[in-house]
């Protein structure tokens, strides 16, 4: 019984670790990575690529939390 409990605890801790890691990755990408990419595209004159990406990023930031993603 003790061994089963330890296995369950280990699996739950691994799942929590993956969840936290995914959350941090999304935060870093949307918080720092995407604005840098958009700024570089805009400065390089690729406004045709930067504006749609900006719209998609804003929709993702505001709509995904409503669905719990």
42 lies in some domain = yes
12-34: per-residue pLDDT in tens?
999 999 888 888 888 787 777 77
The boundaries of the domain holding residue 31 are 18-67
Widest pairwise Cα distance in the chain: 64
10 lies in some domain = no
Taking residue 50's Cβ as centre, other Cβ atoms within 10 Å add up to 18
4 lies in some domain = no
Give me the percent of the chain exceeding a pLDDT of 70. 97
Per the structure, the count of domains in the chain is 1
CA distances from 19 to 8, 24, 34, 57, 69 (A): 17, 9, 21, 21, 12
- 5's enclosing H/E stretch is helix 2-28
């Amino acid at each position: 019984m003790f061994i089963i409990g330890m296995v369950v605890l280990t699996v739950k801790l691994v799942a929590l670790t993956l969840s936290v890691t995914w959350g941090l990755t999304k935060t870093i990408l949307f918080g720092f990575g995407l604005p840098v990419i958009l700024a570089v595209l805009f400065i390089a004159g690729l406004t045709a690529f930067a504006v749609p990406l900006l719209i998609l990023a804003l929709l993702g930031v505001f709509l995904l939390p409503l669905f719990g993603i």
